[in-house]
């Protein structure tokens, strides 16, 4: 009987899994269905560029998913019934039943993190959000203050790109911790120097508790006036897994074993931002392409082995090797980690780091098969 594999989400992880599995299982009695909110793959790691300055013609961040060797269903995944092995897609009368499910719904901006954010804030976690921010920035006159909340890699990339693209704006980075926390002293120094040069104000140890139409309020009692606010204060994962019988962690991520299978339902694999797996370098997978791509690749290979009657291979070896953070177009910082996410002392910065970053970003979309 035909084995039906359903892949939910066509981001870096899901698309990698779907396209590779389609290739590896060619000629087998297998049907592959890919379900995604839109009919295009989005090069998500470049959305801050889209928001800050637009993308030059001929360099689109979007790739059509049709023709990828799988059946494409465009729609919103509403529910996963793990007991019945069925997925409900909004607007479709029939449920999609599966023999194997690959859960790869990624992550989104947590717009309910503080009051007022959903009404007054912007985010770059998806193409629609980045497009809205772009339109808002186009309206802003010189001198307007843009606050970027969150100094993780996304917040840092947004602030730097914005300050470089729009030097007429006043960009303020607000963080409840420290700029460059978790990076080596050399990387932190480079970040501070870069932000000073770009004129980005850095407000550390300020936890934003509310967003208003024209400013933010912090737990420390400060009020920062701003004309636009960009939230990079953390991602949440889509809710279908958490609302199902599948075992999830406190953030709603699917909990998977060393072979990336759900610990509660082994016919379900979890990959990318919406799954939590152990890395071989210590700790859990970080929300990153660095984890999403090998997770997707592993699942495709494991599926091909097991559906051809072979035993599952050795467990996945997902590594957290480091961070590569863009600071505008001609500058970046590459920070390698030793085990457990501890930074090594030496860092690469400036143009050589930007060159690497550029290639890594391009390679990520290519490796996903986009």
Ligand X SMILES: Cc1cc2nc3c(=O)[nH]c(=O)nc-3n(C[C@H](O)[C@H](O)[C@H](O)COP(=O)(O)OP(=O)(O)OC[C@H]3O[C@@H](n4cnc5c(N)ncnc54)[C@H](O)[C@@H]3O)c2cc1C
Helices then strands, counting H and E runs in the chain, come out as: 8, 25
Task: Give the nearer residue to ligand X in terms of CB position, either 211 or 237.
Answer: 237
Q: How far is the CB of 40 from ligand X (least distance, A)?
A: 8
CB of 142 to ligand X, least distance (A): 25
CB 167, min distance to ligand X, A: 20
Looking at beta carbons only, is 47 or 208 nearer to ligand X? 47
Rounded CA-CA distance 52/147 in Å is 13
DSSP structure string for 157-170: HHHHHHHHH-TTSE
Report the residue number, 186 or 272, with the smaller CB distance to ligand X: 272
- Residues 23 and 69: beta-carbon distance below 8 Å: yes
Name which of 171 and 215 has its Cβ closer to ligand X.
171
DSSP notation for 28-56: SSEEEEEEESSSEEE-GGGHHHHHHH---
Alpha-carbon distance of 138 to 144, in angstroms, equals 11
d(CA 209, CA 67) in angstroms, rounded, equals 46
By beta-carbon proximity to ligand X, the closer residue of 13 and 114 is: 13
CB atoms within 10 A of CB 26: 10
CB nearer to ligand X: give 222 or 283: 283
With a CB cutoff of 8 Å and minimum separation 6, the contacts of 359 are none
Least gap, CB of 37 to ligand X (angstroms): 4
Residue 28 beta carbon to ligand X: minimum distance, rounded to whole angstroms: 24
Tokens of 14: 């899901």
- Residue 67 CB contacts under 8 Å (≥ 6 apart), including other chains: none
Q: Which is nearer to ligand X, 45 or 101 (CB)?
A: 45
CB of 308 to ligand X, least distance (A): 26
Give the separation between CA 283 and CA 45, rounded to whole angstroms.
23
Backbone angles phi, psi at 181, to 5 degrees: -55, 135
Residue with the CB atom nearest ligand X in the bound state: 11
Q: Give the separation between CA 99 and CA 58, rounded to whole angstroms.
A: 40
Q: Looking at beta carbons only, is 342 or 362 nearer to ligand X?
A: 362
State the minimum distance, in angstroms, from the CB of residue 48 to ligand X.
4
Least CB distance from residue 52 to ligand X, whole Å?
10
How far, CA to CA in Å, does 45 sit from each of 68, 198, 327? Answer: 21, 22, 13
By the criterion CB under 6 A, which residues form the site for ligand X?
9-14, 35-38, 44-45, 47-48, 76-77, 104-107, 124-125, 154, 157, 238, 272-274, 287-290, 292
């Amino acid at each position: 009987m035909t084995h039906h594999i359903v892949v939910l989400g066509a981001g870096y992880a899901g698309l990698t899994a779907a396209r590779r599995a389609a290739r590896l299982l060619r000629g087998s009695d297998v049907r592959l269905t890919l379900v995604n909110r839109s009919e295009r793959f989005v090069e998500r790691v470049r959305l801050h560029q889209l928001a800050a300055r637009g993308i030059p013609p001929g360099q689109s961040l979007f790739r059509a998913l049709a023709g990828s060797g799988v059946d494409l269903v465009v729609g919103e995944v509403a529910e996963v019934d793990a007991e019945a092995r069925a997925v409900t897609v909004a607007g479709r009368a029939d449920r999609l039943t599966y023999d194997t499910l690959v859960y790869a719904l990624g992550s989104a901006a947590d717009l309910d993190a503080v009051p007022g954010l959903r009404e007054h804030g912007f985010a770059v976690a998806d193409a629609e959000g980045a497009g809205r921010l772009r339109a808002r920035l186009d309206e802003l006159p010189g001198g307007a203050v843009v606050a970027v909340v969150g100094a993780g890699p996304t917040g840092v990339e947004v602030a730097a790109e914005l300050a470089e693209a729009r030097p007429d704006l006043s960009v303020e980075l607000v963080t409840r911790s420290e700029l460059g926390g978790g990076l080596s002293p050399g990387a932190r120094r480079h970040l501070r120097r870069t932000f000073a040069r770009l004129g980005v104000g850095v407000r550390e140890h300020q936890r934003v508790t509310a967003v208003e139409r024209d400013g933010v309020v912090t737990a420390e009692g400060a009020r920062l006036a701003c004309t636009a606010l960009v939230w990079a204060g953390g991602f949440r994962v889509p809710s279908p897994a958490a609302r199902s019988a599948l075992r999830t962690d406190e953030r709603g991520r699917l909990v998977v074993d060393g072979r990336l299978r759900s610990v509660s339902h082994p016919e379900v694999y979890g990959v990318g931002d919406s799954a939590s797996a152990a890395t071989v370098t210590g700790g859990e997978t970080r929300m990153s392409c660095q984890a999403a791509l090998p997770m997707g690749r592993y699942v495709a290979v494991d599926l091909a082995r097991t559906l051809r009657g072979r035993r599952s291979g050795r467990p996945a070896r997902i590594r957290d090797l480091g961070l590569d953070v863009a600071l505008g177009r001609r500058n970046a910082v590459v920070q390698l980690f030793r085990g457990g996410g501890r930074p090594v002392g030496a860092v690469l910065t400036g143009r050589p780091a930007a060159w690497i970053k550029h290639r890594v970003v391009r390679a990520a979309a290519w490796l996903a098969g986009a």
